[in-house]
Amino acid sequence: MITLDSLTKSYDDHLVVDGVSLELPSAGVTSIIGPNGAGKSTLLSMVSRLLGVDAGTVDLDGLDVHRAPSREVARRLAILRQDSHTPARITVRELVELGRHPHSKGRLTPACHAAVDAALARCDLADLDRRGLHELSGGQRQRAYVAMVLAQDTRYLLLDEPLNSLDLVHATALMQLLRTLSDEHGTSVVLVLHDINYASVHSDRIIAMRDGRVVRDGTPEEVITEEALSDVYGAPFRVHHLDGDRIAAYYR
Amino acid sequence: MRRVVLALTLATLGAAALLLTWGVDGHWDFALPRRLETLAALVIVGAAVAVATVVFQTVTASRILTPSIMGFDSLYVLVATLIVWSTGAATALAMPPLALFALNTGVMLGASLLLFRAVIGDGTRGLYTTVLAGVIAGTLFSSISGFLFRVMDPNAFDVLMADLFASFTSIDTTLLAVGAVVLTAAVAGAFAMARRLDVLALGRDGAIGVGLDHRRTVMLAMALVAVLVSVSTALVGPVTFLGLLVANLAYRLTGTHRHGANLLVAMLVAAVALVLGQALLQHVLAFNGTLGSLISLVGGVVFIAMLIKESRR
């Protein structure tokens, strides 16, 4: 369980995250949704210690995320952000191997190689593993980064808008992969999503933010409603029931 | 990879043999010790500049920036000028070489750490801000030095000029020995953190994500760079474009992101380039020029070509 206690962050007097207290479960898929500027990414950055807090604490199974050794945290929690920097001349396999750093400090053990192979296979990259990262398409590269955080083999996997550079088919494939990971491997997946329908279809729990606060928190049935979404985004929504899923329409 | 290292090692040995034996007519006992000293200086300084540049480029996530380009050379000129200006030519000449060297290096080390911290921060500022800050700092340092040149006693200026041009042939043996020890230690330090540097190339967020103590690693890397460039510059003077040349050549040759390989190959490339360059300078150009200007000629062209290529992307 990750416990957030009154997390606060402001940039130049502008309050971005306003005293958020939450418990993120140790299993299942949790999506964070909300309009631009709601503080979703900032919240995720603070939970994953990429960003310091102005006030509040993050407790990761008894570990204070902002005070514990970074390596200790990295063995339990992996974070994937959008603006990853790509090292020059690196191959897919070498990138995924960097995900083992918290366990091996760069000297790979047999267990590391197994984890790397498994991550490559899960992300459908086994055939591309010797290719240079710069030779890949945007979608393949995104999958390579996902494989890297999978190889890290952590209880918690945090992703900040992982679908951004993916086309429809690859976006769905990635969501299925995360769902499977959670179901079969017991990983707790926490992700910031812009597409509320992916959140609706694949999540166990949806947290909706607006103006730096959590305004809705519950199952897709509770959050993907016309009333709740209109409140969160400040715009009209229609919610349709299709094959047992709740699909929100906001195109008109 | 092994073939590259082997070929470069052989090339280094060949270049070294050439430098040591070319045109020695009879007086081996006179020529050899002097040439060995030059050879040692070339190899040690080359290795230091190569390692410093590769580490620096990883921290700044750039293939174009080097410590020299980021205002380091003008900082060196300023520090050397300030020392001669404030002590006077007579004192500077009378000072034991080791004391002057220690003073020069010490001030450089402190000043360069400050400069790097100010210009680079934690390496997340982006190329343009960093370049701009470096260029401004460099211009400021040059302007101050230029002013001091004008108000300086001509004797002091003469002493200073002898100090400011890269020279591998007139190094005090004791300084060379001291410098070699320090530089070897710093190079070993860089190799020891090669795997952490591999991770650092993921950028700040990526590196923290896989559990690297980012702040500490960047500080440590920058401290190593400061030691390497301060000591090697105090030893032979600025060789501005050497690092840029050898680092980029090394990346091409290795074709890998791994710092263990890139550091080693960059060192070997630097050794070959400097030793061959010196041999050519002595025999083909008959000492008409300095190695520094030869490197600047080639390196400057490469630098401009890289800038143009980068801006077209």
- State pLDDT tens for residues A23-78: 999 999 999 999 999 999 999 999 999 999 999 999 999 999 999 999 999 999 99
Nearest Cα residue in chain B from A160: B205
CB < 8 Å to B212, chain A:
70-71, 101
Domain boundaries of chain B, sorted by first residue:
2-312
Q: What is the ipTM of this complex?
A: 0.91
Question: Could B201 and A87 be called an inter-chain contact, meaning their C-beta atoms sit closer than 8 Å?
Answer: yes
Cα–Cα distance measured from residue B154 to residue A124, given in angstroms and rounded to the nearest whole number = 72
Domains of chain A: 2-76+155-249 (3.40.50.300), 84-153 (no CATH)
CB atoms within 10 A of CB B297: 11
User: Shortest CA distance to B142 belongs to which of B92, B84, B73?
Assistant: B73
User: Å from A245 to nearest chain B CA?
Assistant: 34
Nearest Cα residue in chain B from A86: B202
* Partners of A218 in beta bridges: A206
Cα–Cα distance measured from residue A27 to residue A5, given in angstroms and rounded to the nearest whole number = 20
Parallel, antiparallel, or unpaired: how do β-strands A28-33 and A205-210 relate? parallel
Spatial neighbors of A246 by CB under 8 A, at least 6 apart, are: A200, A220, A221, A224, A239, A240
Cα–Cα distance measured from residue A122 to residue A151, given in angstroms and rounded to the nearest whole number = 10
Question: In CATH, which of 1.20.1440.230, 1.10.3470.10, 3.30.479.10, 3.60.40.10 is domain B2-312?
Answer: 1.10.3470.10
Task: Return the structure tokens found at B181.
Answer: 């020890």
CB B270 within 8 A of CB B160: no
One pLDDT digit (tens) per residue for chain B, 313 residues: 788 899 999 999 998 888 888 877 778 878 888 888 889 999 999 999 999 999 999 988 888 888 887 778 888 888 888 888 888 777 777 778 788 788 888 888 888 788 777 776 665 666 677 778 888 888 899 899 999 988 888 888 887 887 776 677 777 788 889 999 999 999 999 999 999 999 999 988 999 999 999 888 988 998 899 889 888 888 887 787 889 889 999 998 998 999 999 999 999 999 999 998 888 888 777 666 677 777 777 877 887 887 777 667 6
B119 CB-side CA count, 13 A: 28
Spatial neighbors of A161 by CB under 8 A, at least 6 apart, are: A41, A82, A191, A192, A193, A194
Cα–Cα distance measured from residue A19 to residue A150, given in angstroms and rounded to the nearest whole number = 31
Task: Return the structure tokens found at B223.
Answer: 């401290």
CB A251 within 8 A of CB A196: no
User: Å from A39 to nearest chain B CA?
Assistant: 18
User: Shortest CA distance to B138 belongs to which of B158, B157, B118, B154?
Assistant: B118
Chain B touched by A149 (CB under 8 Å): yes
Collapsing DSSP states into helix, strand and coil, what is residue A245? strand
The label of the residue with tokens 């090339």 reads B11
Residue to test with chain A: of B210, B310, B313, most A Cβ within 10 A: B210
CB atoms within 10 A of CB A177: 18
Question: Could A106 and B205 be called an inter-chain contact, meaning their C-beta atoms sit closer than 8 Å?
Answer: no
